[in-house]
Each structure stands twice: as structure tokens, then as C-alpha cells.
Amino acid sequence: MSFINYSSREINCKIVFYGPGLCGKTTNLQWIYKKTNPDSKGKMISLATETERTLFFDFLPLALGEIRGFKTRFHLYTVPGQVFYDASRKLILKGVDGVVFVADSQIERMEANIESIENLRLNLAEQGYDLDKIPFIVQYNKRDLPNVVSLEEMKKALNPRGVPDYEAVAMDGTGVFDTLKAIAKLVIMELKKGQEGG
């Protein structure tokens, strides 16, 4: 649910990075934070356990530039991926404008990927969102590892609808900004459609 402020001429949107535990959601945000100009980013907040597993959420506010005189800001969130944090994941999804599903390409994590994407669909539906209708892209992370599932199989299992998808190695930044640009673009296009539709 975006916030359009005509008074300060700002558009604010919320993007959530979702996926199973240790798939690279926080790593995506950390890379974005590291490589973004200090003028374009706020502080990154990470509510995590002592072992650096996300406990509640990570948050990173980004300024992407101006569009027709309106400053566009995106609030990036990650959810905790471990299965037992489902209650928290539901809360973080509230008011989402776009979702990035980060999949762990390792063969032993395929079941977790599938479980997580179904969990995403369910949690969105509980809030009245339809995963097939909101801005949504898939990132296949950890493509550098030796034990990865082929891209074709990953697409078949996780992206049957053929939404935009990107290969990534979040640890070294490969695919991270491509993913971010893609979801931001989809969100703005959706906002434009929404406003035109009335």
C-alpha cells in the first residue's frame, strides 16, 4: 500500500524480500546498502538473533530518484525465513506493494523453496492479496555453488507463470541490483495502472 504525499511530493512504496531460511534475503539488502550512494539510503535496521539470523525483519529505506517531480522512495524489508517465524512473516507482508522471492538454488533446499513460496501465497491471501496479481519477481540465488538445480528446473518449480526472474550471487552482488530495479519498475507500473483505473 503505497503512500503518495502531494504536500512533500513523495511516493513511498514497500517491497518485501521473501524466501526460506538462509536463502540470501538479508544478503541482498546488505549488498544494496553497501553499494548505494549515502545520499540515497537511510540506515539499515536489522532485528536479528545473536547468530545473525533475522528475527523480525531487516529494513532499508532507499531513494530512487524523481519521477515527474515526485521523489520516489522504496522501503525494502526482509522477512525471517525459518519456518517457525510464520507469525512474524505475516506481519511484515502487511501493506506490501511488491515481492521478491529469493530462492536458494542448492538442490537440498528445493523443498524449502517450494514450501516457502506456498507459504508466501497463503500469507498474502490471508491479507487479501493474490500472488498472481501483485508485482512479483523471482531471484535464483547462490548460482555460484556446485550443487545447484538447473535454471530450467527451478523455473518450472518456482516460476510456472513466467514472471521476471533473475540469477544471482548475492554475496558478490551479481543480479542484486537487476532484481531491485525490476521489482521497483513493476511496482511503479502497477501504481500507474491503479491511478489510471481510478
Partner 1 sequence: MLGSDLVMYDEEFKLIDAEIQRLLAQANAKVVFLVDKNGQLIAATGETENLDTTSLASLTAGNIAATGGMAKLLGEKEFSILFHEGQRDNIHISIIGQRIILVVIFDQRSSLGLVRLRVKKSADVLGGIFDQLLKKVETEKGTGKGADSPFAEITDEDIDKLFG
Q: For cell 531491485, name the residue.
A: 180
Question: In the complex, what is the shortest distance from the CB of residue 194 to partner 1, in angstroms, rounded to a whole number?
Answer: 7
31 lines the binding site for partner 1 (CB under 8 A): no
CA–chain centroid gap for 140, Å, is 12
87 lines the binding site for partner 1 (CB under 8 A): yes
What are the cell numbers at 3? 503512500
| 74 within 8 A of 15, measured Cβ to Cβ | yes
Phi, psi (degrees; rounded to nearest 5) at 88: -70, -40
Instruction: Give the residue, chosen from 35, 49, 83, 94, that forms a contact with partner 1 under the rule CB under 8 A.
Output: 94
* 5: DSSP letter: E
70 lines the binding site for partner 1 (CB under 8 A): yes
3 lines the binding site for partner 1 (CB under 8 A): yes
**Helix-, strand-, coil-residue percentages of the chain, each rounded to 5:** 40, 30, 30
147 lines the binding site for partner 1 (CB under 8 A): no
Residues that bind partner 1 (CB under 8 A): 1-9, 11-12, 14, 42-43, 45, 47, 56-57, 59, 61, 64-70, 72, 75, 87-88, 90-92, 94-95, 97, 127-129, 134, 181, 184-185, 188-192, 194-196, 198
